[in-house]
Amino acid sequence: MLNPIAALLIEVLEIYKWVVIAAVIVSWLTAFNVINVHNNFVRTLLRILLPRAPIDSVDASRPPGATVAAAMLDTAYQLK
């Protein structure tokens, strides 16, 4: 028999796992233009799952360390 706090923690982590999976799938579908981001339902779903905009595209003239540092400090990429 599990401790009630441990059971609650396990359930919260399971829900979080599915939210992360849904966010990854929605971001892929958006990146490949499979879903229409101008649809109100899709826009609401994107606001819920991806609350922050990711960093800009990678600039080839920047050193690799600067790109990695920018990605590590960006909270949207830390959640994925």
Q: Is the pLDDT of residue 54 over 70?
A: no
Confidence category of residue 2, pLDDT binned at 50, 70, 90? confident
Say how many C-beta atoms besides its own lie within 10 A of residue 18's C-beta.
Answer: 9
Q: CA-to-CA distance for 8 and 35, rounded, in angstroms?
A: 34
Residue with tokens 């690799």: 64
Residue in this structure with the two tokens 């233009």, named with its chain if needed: 33
Residue 51's pLDDT is 65
Tokens of 7: 């059971």
Residues 11-53: tens digit of each pLDDT: 999 998 998 888 889 888 888 889 888 888 888 888 888 766 5
Contact 62, 69 (CB under 8 A): no
Q: Tell me how far apart the alpha carbons of residues 77 and 30 are, in angstroms, rounded to a whole number.
A: 16
